[in-house]
Amino acid sequence: MKAIIIGSGLGGLLSAAKLSKAGYEVEVFERLPIIGGRFTNLPFKGFQLSTGALHMLPHGPAGPLAQLIEEIGANVEIVRKKPIAVIRIPRKKGDTDYKYGYKDLLFENFRTPFSVFNRIKLVYYAISTRKKSPSGESFEQWCKAHLDQDWTVRISDSFFGWALSLKAADVPVEEAFAIIENLYHYGGPGVPMGGCKAITDALSDIIQSSGGIIHTSSEVTGLKIKNGTVEGVLVNGECYLADLVISDIGHTATATLIGEKTGITGMEDYKRKSNNLKPSAGIKICISSDKPLIGHGGVLLTPYAKRVNGINEVTNVDPKLAPEGKHLTMAHQCVHWKDVDNLEKEIELGLEDIKDIFAGKEYEVLLIQSYSNEWPVNRSPSGADLDNRTPIPNLYVVGDGAKGEGGIEVEGIALGVKKSMQDILMR
């Protein structure tokens, strides 16, 4: 059996490696000259920056991605260090920013600023809401209805801004609780030693050592579809045949490759839904310093900043991600859809936050990267993901445009790949 994979992002490489191990003949086509998509390193002034991700797996060594790469046989060390997250709050109750000083609260104590009554309500509603069918309600609406405190919106905007690049107002309440449940189940984040590239390179080695081929600088421009099935892909005017095609480029771009008038049942509905997906956008600010700025290997959530949702300092886990004696700190901020055309203003606000958060400390801004539209933070906002299957039975979509329920970013990709592989390998 032959499988063709469109795109060498994490989702594509995970699928290709898994299928190679299962005995498939595999061929990957990547349009860029490098592999890894938004999950590889970007060497810059001796630092290992990244093409996308902040060198962090949301559930560290115990999560769905770590489990899948172990199952495939990729040898990557993933390290989780305590504290997993810390929340920066103003020193004085009632302040709304960090100008007059701050204190840090361990993430596990996030309920502390709530009244006792609200803490009890939070546990009760979390359990009962999770069991209900989809309500169309957002997590912010739910918070405002049940926990009448400014803190709820601040901490959830900061957490979901960091984890999903979404505001709490844009996360369906059921998805929010599935994410929180997974956090308790799998635990908090970890850093792959060597950064994102350690994972994508290990997967590429597995594919190639099993006889698979990865073509770079090779854009897929169309699909060959006959009698309701995919027979292959078109690259540079040539047709490559396969029994199975897996697309790692999201449903919207896959629907474009399918083209018009296929006569396939369900295609119109699929195209309409694919075109309605709104990718989540964000800005990453990469910072260098001689001394640590946050001093731990977890996440610093910043619910009182204007734009920055959270910050990590990965060199506290893997010092090799920066030149000797330097630290690499990365701040992430969600960009709301209404602000996507105003990135310069959003960056300005992010930089103002960095000044406030690291007031009195010495640092240098290395690089500012923005992500939207076709190179987004997530191709599908969490909670709106479509299934991995398409109306064409041997065409699947993997990656962050088709994540599994409750799966934050690459953990959601791993859940989606697992689901697709079960479907394909059990046929």
- Residue carrying the six token digits 């979901």: 160
Q: Parallel, antiparallel, or unpaired: how do β-strands 299-301 and 310-313 relate?
A: antiparallel
**Minimum CB distance to ligand FAD, residue 175 (Å):** 16
Decide: is 26 part of the binding site for ligand FAD (CB under 6 A).
no
Binding residues for ligand FAD, how many (CB under 6 A)?
A: 36
φ and ψ of 319, to 5 deg: -60, -20
Member of 18, 38, 251, 419 binding ligand FAD (CB under 6 A): 38
CA distances from 263 to 65, 107, 228, 251, 254 (A): 37, 52, 8, 18, 17
The residues, ordered by sequence, that sit 6+ positions from 325 with a Cβ below 8 Å of its Cβ are: 290
Q: Parallel, antiparallel, or unpaired: how do β-strands 281-289 and 327-335 relate?
A: antiparallel
Q: Which stretch binds ligand FAD (CB under 6 A): 23-31, 269-277, 360-368, 380-388?
A: 23-31
Binding mask 142-181 for ligand FAD (x = CB under 6 A): ----------------------------------------
Closest alpha carbon to 392 in 297, 258, 283, 237 = 258
Closest alpha carbon to 177 in 135, 207, 117, 210 = 135
Q: How many CB atoms lie within 10 A of CB 336?
A: 17
Q: Which is nearer to ligand FAD, 11 or 188 (CB)?
A: 11
Q: Which is nearer to ligand FAD, 253 or 287 (CB)?
A: 253
Distance CA 400, CA 391 (A): 19
Q: Which is nearer to ligand FAD, 152 or 280 (CB)?
A: 280
Binding mask 234-273 for ligand FAD (x = CB under 6 A): --------------xx---x--------------------
Decide: is 7 part of the binding site for ligand FAD (CB under 6 A).
yes
Question: What residues does 102 pair with on adjacent strands?
Answer: 90
Q: Residues 311 to 350: which contact ligand FAD by CB under 6 A?
A: 332
Member of 31, 81, 146, 361 binding ligand FAD (CB under 6 A): 31
Binding mask 270-289 for ligand FAD (x = CB under 6 A): ------------x-x-----
Decide: is 53 part of the binding site for ligand FAD (CB under 6 A).
yes
Q: In the chain, count of helices (H) and strands (E)?
A: 11, 19
Residues that bind ligand FAD (CB under 6 A): 6-12, 29-32, 37-39, 52-54, 56-58, 219-220, 248-249, 253, 282, 284, 332, 371, 377-378, 399-400, 409-410, 413
